[in-house]
Structure 1
Amino acid sequence: MFAPYNTNLTAYRRPQTKFQRHTFKTTWTYKFCCLGGPNEDEVPDKPMKRILIETGLGEKKLALVKNKDAEYLRDALLEHYPKLKDGGGYELMRSSSRTLLETISIPSCGYTTHYLSDESGLGSAICYIRPLQAQLSLDAVERSEPSEFCLKEVCKVCGEKIPIVSLRDHLFECKEQCEHDQMEDMPVITKRQKRLEPIHDSACVRLNS
C-alpha cells in the first residue's frame, strides 16, 4: 500500500550559516618597543622614549594572531614600524634588570607569535625590537592630515573649531598672529620735543643795561 522506506537516502543536513562557517582566530595582544640602533642594550629613559615615539618607533601595543610563522610576525612588525625595514633584520629583547636588556634566544624557525606568547618567558615584560645592522632614522614622522571625523575643540584665542590632533600647533601660530595684530593696532606714541624760542636783540640789550 505504501512505498518501501529507502534506507539508502542520506540524512538531511541543514546548511551551515556564514556565522557557523567562520573560524575565530586567537589573538595575542602585547606591548612592543622598537629601539633606534644595533648597539642599544639599555632600557630607554623617559626623554629617549619620547624621542622614539615622535620618530615612529618606541612603545606600541600590537594585537597579533597566535600560531603564526616568523614571516607573519616580521610583516606585522614592519607594518607598525616602517623604519625597521632599514635595520637589516632585527632581534627581540627583554629587560634583565631595571636598566639593562638581554636578547631573547631565537628558535630554529625564527621568532613566531606562538614562541613569544607561550615559550619565550616574556610574561608581562615589554618586548624590545633591536635592528641588527643599521641605525634607524630618528627624524620626526610628519603627521597626516586630520580626518573629517576627528574630534574638534574651540580655540580660545580665535574662536574657531580646530581638530584636536593639530590644536597645539594651531595655538602656537594663532597666539603669534594675535600678538602681531595687537602691535599693529596700538597707536604710535612719539616723544614731544620742547620748542626753542629764538632770543631777540631787545632781550640782549636789557641784559647788558
Structure 2
Amino acid sequence: MARGKLSQVLREIADELDKPSTSAATSVAVDLNQSTSSAAAQSSTGSAQHIHPVDAEVARLFRPYKGRPLSRRQTFGQLRQPCSYTHTFCCLSDKNAESVPTRQLKRRLSTFGLGEKRVTYRGNHKSPDEFKRFLLEAYPKLRQGGGFELLRIAGTTKSRQLSIIPCPREGYDVNYLKDPQTQIGHATVFIRPLQRNLDMDNEPEAEICEEVAGPPQECMTCGAEFPFATIKFHSDECLRLEK
C-alpha cells in the first residue's frame, strides 16, 4: 500500500473515532467482543484438537479426583503402616514370685513354653484387648493363671527384686508400656499369673522342636529314660532328692 493511501486510511479512522456517536461506539465494542469471543473459541477448539495423547490419558485417569484434593494428614495417614513393638518378656509360673528367676529356672520355664522371649507386636498400640490376646498367644499356658500382671526389676539393674507395673483401669497396652513415665525402656518385662500358678509338674507339652529334641537319655542317678530336652532338669531334681 502506498504511503499516501495509508495516511488517508488512518486519517479516516481517526475521524470516525472522534465522532460523538454512541451507536458507533457501541457497534465497535460489540464487534470487538464478538471478535474476542470467536478468537477464544477457536483457540480452545484448536488446543483441544491438538492435545497430546498422554495428557488426555492423564486427564481421564485423574478426573474422579478433580476438586477433591487429599489433605496432608489424609495422605500420610493412608500410606502409613502400623508400627511394630518389639520387646523382651519373661513369663513366670509362680503367682507369688517376687524375684528374677535364676538361669536354671529360666531354662526350665522355657521348656514349658514360658520364660524369656523377644516378641514383636503389630496390633493397635492403644488396645488393651489386642495386647492381652497377643501375650496369651505368645504364652498359651498363661491362660491358666486367671489373668496376669506385669512387673519390672526394682531399683538398679543389679537388683533381683521385682516390682509391679501399675495396671491402668482399661488394662495394659503398648502406649502405656512405651510411656517414659512408666520407666521401662528396654528392660525386660516380667509376666506373673494373677490367681493360679501355671502347671509345671507334668512333662513338657509336645511343642519342642524336633531338631533340638534329640534321642532319649538315661538318668545317671535313677536310671530312667527322659527326653533329650528335659534330662538336664530331671537330673538336677534327681540329685537334690538323693541328697
TM-score interval (norm. to shorter): 0.5 to 0.7
Please give the TM-score of this superposition, normalised by the length of structure 2: 0.53
CA distance in 2, matches of 1:118, 1:135: 30
CA distance in 1, matches of 2:114, 2:134: 14
Please state which structure has a larger fraction of its residues in helix.
2
| Counterpart pick for 1:95 among 121, 146, 153 | 153
Name the counterpart of 1:40. 97
User: Structure 2: which 5+ residue stretches go unaligned?
Assistant: 1-41, 49-58, 66-77, 219-243
Which has the higher relative contact order, 1 or 2, with Cα contacts under 8 A spaced 6 or more apart?
1
Matched, 1:79 2:141: no
Q: Is the 8 A contact 2:89 2:116 kept in 1?
A: yes
Matched, 1:12 2:62: yes
- The residue identity in structure 2 corresponding to 1:114 is N
Cα shift at 1:13: 5.9
1:139-196 deviation line (CA, Å, top 9, x unaligned): 42223574xxxxxxxxxxxxxxxxx334x326x59xxxxxxxxxxxxxxxxxxxxxxx
> Sequence identity of aligned pairs in percent?
33
- What is the aligned length? 148
Q: Is the 8 A contact 1:67 1:112 kept in 2?
A: yes
Cα shift at 1:55: 0.8
Cα shift at 1:136: 0.4
User: Structure 1: which 5+ residue stretches go unaligned?
Assistant: 16-20, 147-163, 174-209
Secondary structure (helix, strand or coil) at the match of 2:101 reads: coil
Please state which structure has a larger fraction of its residues in strand.
1
Cα shift at 1:24: 1.2
- The residue identity in structure 1 corresponding to 2:62 is Y
Name the counterpart of 1:187. none
Q: CA RMSD in A?
A: 3.1
Q: Is the 8 A contact 2:87 2:118 kept in 1?
A: yes
Name the counterpart of 1:169. 215
How is 1:88-127 mapped onto 2 (pairs within 5 angstroms)?
88-97=146-155, 98-119=159-180, 120-127=182-189
Name the counterpart of 1:181. none
Change (3 A) 1:37 1:5: farther
Name the counterpart of 2:106. 49
- The residue identity in structure 2 corresponding to 1:143 is E
- The residue identity in structure 2 corresponding to 1:125 is A
How is 1:124-135 mapped onto 2 (pairs within 5 angstroms)?
124-135=186-197
CA distance in 1, matches of 2:165, 2:63: 50
How is 1:140-151 mapped onto 2 (pairs within 5 angstroms)?
140-143=204-207, 146=210
- The residue identity in structure 2 corresponding to 1:38 is K
CA distance in 1, matches of 2:45, 2:96: 85
Name the counterpart of 1:18. none
Cα shift at 1:108: 2.4
Matched, 1:58 2:115: yes
CA distance in 2, matches of 1:73, 1:128: 15
CA distance in 2, matches of 1:67, 1:77: 13
Cα shift at 1:4: 9.7
Higher Rg: 2
Secondary structure (helix, strand or coil) at the match of 1:31 reads: strand
CA distance in 2, matches of 1:116, 1:75: 16
